[in-house]
Structure 1
């Protein structure tokens, strides 16, 4: 029975190095320092989420249905994984709808510009 790859030390929680690989068929052994992919650092729940996300071809609505969770929860899990992989999530700033309406009422922006700003807010 094979066990999942440990990536962190069970004693101090620091990252482990893989130093030995062995073939189950011919018993050839290779020793050195080997790198693992960034995905190896993800927990089981995060890897499951990534699998579902890929299965759904990145369609967040489909991920919602598959996992039975809300859109904000999907986005939150995705942001957590992005962070765990060492990347920064490029969140767009929250659109202030009241401010857009106020600017429109004052005549400081056109209707077309207001619609554009509101649509940009929906995409984030």
Structure 2
């Protein structure tokens, strides 16, 4: 399943689901969950992550896998789900893209202003 349209980049909407076994078809407008893009192993990792309450060190002890391997797996899953870690997207986005997101209704004006204020404070020195 494609999360975004390959032509315009907008979110894809599922309009039909079909079961080959029973020959049942359901039509409508369905939004795909970010979890729908994960394979079985990735979904099992996410469930383990939830059960460990987000503690990768605990998962490391449980699975025997190294912390950085687990962190890499988590990063790949976030990418596959089209999710960015909190704070990263807003810090890396250009002002032009920020204004574009406001125009498209992806973020509010207040949120955009807050991001710009934080950037300005971050750029000032205390000297």
**TM-score, scaled to structure 1:** 0.48
**TM-score, scaled to structure 2:** 0.47
Higher radius of gyration, 1 or 2? 1
